[in-house]
Amino acid sequence: SAVISQKPSRDICQRGTSLTIQCQVDSQVTMMFWYRQQPGQSLTLIATANQGSEATYESGFVIDKFPISRPNLTFSTLTVSNMSPEDSSIYLCSAWEGAKNIQYFGAGTRLSVL
């Protein structure tokens, strides 16, 4: 199974700043995704990180707010830009192994915006 390392594990940020979250997978995977889990809520898909091209965003999420990179098959970053307290959430990276049709998740980044 794939092992996913996500950094940072948590951060406290000031309003108006940006934070970049890194996601490293220990093997090449077919697809990588970014999810948000707001307090008391379930997970919502933000976007699919496409290798070598622009990410595919879900309804309600835009590139200017959540720019995503995926330079290779094992690494992706999510930036939360111009943060506000409403961005306080857990952000999770996942990797999908197509052959097994299983998604593996990182430990998440707990973000608090003051």
Partner 1 sequence: KQEVTQIPAALSVPEGENLVLNCSFTDSAIYNLQWFRQDPGKGLTSLLLIQSSQREQTSGRLNASLDKSSGRSTLYIAASQPGDSATYLCAVTPPGGGNKLTFGTGTQLKVEL
Does 92 bind partner 1 (CB under 8 A)? Our answer is yes
- Letters for 20-59 (x = contact with partner 1 by CB under 8 A, - = none) are -----------x-x-------xxxxx--x-----------
The piece of 16-24, 65-73, 77-85, 101-109 that touches partner 1 (CB under 8 A) is: 101-109
Min dist CB 108 to partner 1, Å, is 5
* Secondary structure (H, E, C), the chain: CCCEEEECCEEEECCCCCEEEEEEECCCCCEEEEEEECCCCCEEEEEEECCCCCCEECCCCCCCCCCEEEEECCEEEEEECCCCHHHCEEEEEEEEECCCCEEEECCCEEEEEC
Does 108 bind partner 1 (CB under 8 A)? Our answer is yes
